[in-house]
Amino acid sequence: MKLDPNRKYWNPKIESMSREELRNLQLKKLKKQLRYNYENSIFYRDRFNQAGIKPGDIRTWEDFTRVPPMTKDDQRQCQEESLARFGHPYGMLACASVEKIVRLSSTSGTTGMPTLYTLTKHDVKVVRELHARKMWRMGFRPTDIVLHALALSMFTGGVPVCDALQEYGITMIPVGAEGGVNRVLQFIDLCKPHYIRCTPSFAEYLIQRCPQALGKPASALGLKGMTLGGEPGGSIPEVRKRLKEGFNIQRLFDNIGGSHNFHGYSCLETVDLPTYKGMHLVSEDYCILELLDPKTQQSMELKDGLVGEMCYTYIDWEGTPLLRYRLGDILEVHLSTCDCGNPGLRFKIIGRADDMLIIKGVNLYPAALKNAVMGFVPRVTGEVRILLDAPGPRVTPPLKIQVEYGEGIPSQDLPGLNKEMREKMHSLLRVTPEIEFVPPNTFERATHKSKMIVKRYEQKGNT
CB-based burial, 125-134: b 16+ in 10 Å, e otherwise = ebbbbbbbbb
Task: For Zn ion, give the closer residue by CB, 267 or 421.
Answer: 267
Q: Is 60 helix (H, G, I), strand (E, B) or coil?
A: coil
- Output the smallest distance, CB 136 to Zn ion, in A: 14
In 3-state terms, the chain is what percent helix, strand and coil (to 5)?
35, 25, 40
Please report how close the Cβ of residue 288 comes to Zn ion at its closest, in angstroms. Answer: 21
Based on CB atoms, which residue is closest to Zn ion, 260 or 277?
Answer: 277
Nearer to Zn ion, 126 or 338 (CB): 338
**Closer CB to Zn ion, residue 58 or residue 349?**
349
In the complex with Zn ion, which residue's Cβ is closer, 173 or 267? 267
Report the residue number, 267 or 435, with the smaller CB distance to Zn ion: 267
> Which residues lie below 8 Å from residue 79, measured CB to CB, with a gap of 6+?
89, 90, 92, 93, 113, 115, 116
Q: How far is the CB of 280 from Zn ion (least distance, A)?
A: 6
Is 130 or 159 the residue whose CB approaches Zn ion more closely?
130
Closest to Zn ion by CB, 196 or 281:
281
Nearest alpha carbon to residue 379 among 420, 417, 346: 417
Q: How far is the CB of 365 from Zn ion (least distance, A)?
A: 24
Residue 278 beta carbon to Zn ion: minimum distance, rounded to whole angstroms:
8
- H-only helix segments in 52-197: 61-64, 72-86, 121-137, 159-168, 181-191
135 close to 149: Cβ distance less than 8 angstroms: no
Of 404, 298, 283, 391, residue with least CA distance to 344 = 283
Cα–Cα distance measured from residue 412 to residue 410, given in angstroms and rounded to the nearest whole number? 5
> What is the nearest approach in angstroms of Zn ion to the Cβ of residue 277?
5
Least CB distance from residue 337 to Zn ion, whole Å?
Answer: 8
**Sheet containing strand 400-405, strands side by side:** 434-438, 400-405, 380-388, 453-455
Residue 299 dihedral angles phi and psi, to the nearest 5°:
-70, 135
Cite the beta strand spans of 245-399 per DSSP E. Answer: 251-258, 262-266, 279-281, 287-292, 299-300, 306-314, 325-334, 346-352, 357-359, 362-364, 380-388, 394-395
Binding site for Zn ion (CB under 5 A): 267, 277, 338, 340
CB nearer to Zn ion: give 168 or 253.
Answer: 253
Shortest Cβ distance from residue 302 to Zn ion (Å)? 17
Give the integer Cα–Cα distance in Å for 284 and 26. 8
- Please say whether the beta carbons of 105 and 155 come within 8 A: yes
171-173 vs 145-148, strand pairing mode? parallel
The answer to whether the beta carbons of residues 261 and 284 sit under 8 Å apart is no
Please, what is the minimum distance in Å from the beta carbon of residue 272 to Zn ion?
11
